[in-house]
């Protein structure tokens, strides 16, 4: 386990869905099933399966629901889901919420002058709406908001590739990476960061090799404020 020893030149790397924003999986299920119905599929995405795969790109959800279809069908259905979500933002707003204490934690870190990077398997067009709907608009500098997914699915575009490109122009002595999936923990390990696996108390726990497993984002503040203060 890496020690929590904050340094001046460090940055916090945040996942969004399932970490800073919660309950969007319900919107994903509703939209996915609308599109499947419109395209004459009887299969449906269940909430449990969506939670199991949460944090993946939309095409990965489609693969799980209709696995025997070819790639081009998966990509086409995923694109339709993304377009539908962008055209019908009220579905997302109906469900998505800010994770408890998220804004407080982000503001404390910001007050301490640490950079905060947001990286998400999300479409760039959708991210402003997600931040506004969760009350987190204005926290992250626009150049620090990194998105991975798009209407034109690119398998080479991953959180790792996007963050690697970002770090070509920025250097930090230390990273703190917070997310809700093994992918996020792998990302932190790739860049030798301190890793936090956050799971909302209402969601099933998962095993990862994260340095810390937490169910309250306030615990991340140990990376800003020494524990003995």
* Annotated domain spans of the chain: 10-21+97-223, 24-95
Residue 154 has a pLDDT of 66
Model pLDDT for residues 153-212, shown as the tens digit of each residue: 666 678 999 999 999 989 999 999 999 999 999 999 999 999 999 988 777 788 899 999
Task: Give DSSP secondary structure letters for the chain.
Answer: -------SSEEEEE--BTTTEESHHHHHHHHHHHHHHHTT------HHHHHHTTTS-HHHHHHHHSTTS-HHHHHHHHHHHHHHHHH-HHHHHHH-EEPTTHHHHHHHHHHTT-EEEEEESS-TTTHHHHHHHTT-TTSS-GGGEEE---SS--TT--HHHHHHHHTTT---SEEEEEESSHHHHHHHHHTT-EEEEE--TTSPP-----SEEES-GGGGGGGTS-TT-
pLDDT of 222 > 60? The answer is yes
Tell me which of 2.40.160.40, 3.40.50.720, 3.40.50.1000, 3.40.50.150 is the CATH number of domain 10-21+97-223. 3.40.50.1000
Looking at the chain, the whole-number percentage of residues with pLDDT higher than 70 is 91
Looking at the chain, the whole-number percentage of residues with pLDDT higher than 90 is 75
């Amino acid at each position: 386990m890496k020690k929590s020893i904050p340094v001046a030149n460090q940055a916090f790397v945040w996942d969004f869905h399932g970490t800073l924003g919660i309950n969007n999986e319900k919107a994903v299920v509703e939209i996915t099933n609308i599109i499947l119905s419109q395209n004459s599929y009887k299969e449906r995405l269940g909430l449990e399966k969506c939670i199991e795969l949460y944090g993946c790109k939309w095409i990965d959800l489609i693969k799980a629901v209709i696995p025997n279809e070819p790639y081009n069908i998966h990509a086409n259905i995923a694109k339709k889901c993304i377009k539908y979500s962008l055209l019908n933002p009220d579905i997302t707003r109906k469900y998505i919420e800010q994770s408890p204490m998220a804004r407080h934690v982000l503001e404390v870190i910001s007050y301490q002058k640490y950079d905060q990077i947001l990286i998400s398997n999300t479409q760039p067009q959708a991210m402003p709406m997600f931040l506004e709907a969760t009350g987190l608009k204005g926290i992250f500098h626009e150049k620090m908001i990194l998105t991975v997914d798009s209407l034109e699915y690119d398998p080479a575009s991953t959180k790792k590739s996007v963050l690697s490109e970002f770090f070509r122009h920025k250097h930090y002595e230390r990273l703190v990476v917070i997310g809700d999936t093994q992918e996020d923990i792998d990302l932190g390990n790739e860049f030798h960061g301190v890793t936090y696996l956050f799971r909302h108390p209402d969601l099933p726990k998962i095993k990862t090799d994260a340095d810390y497993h937490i169910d309250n984002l306030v615990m991340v503040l140990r990376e800003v404020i020494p524990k003995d203060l």
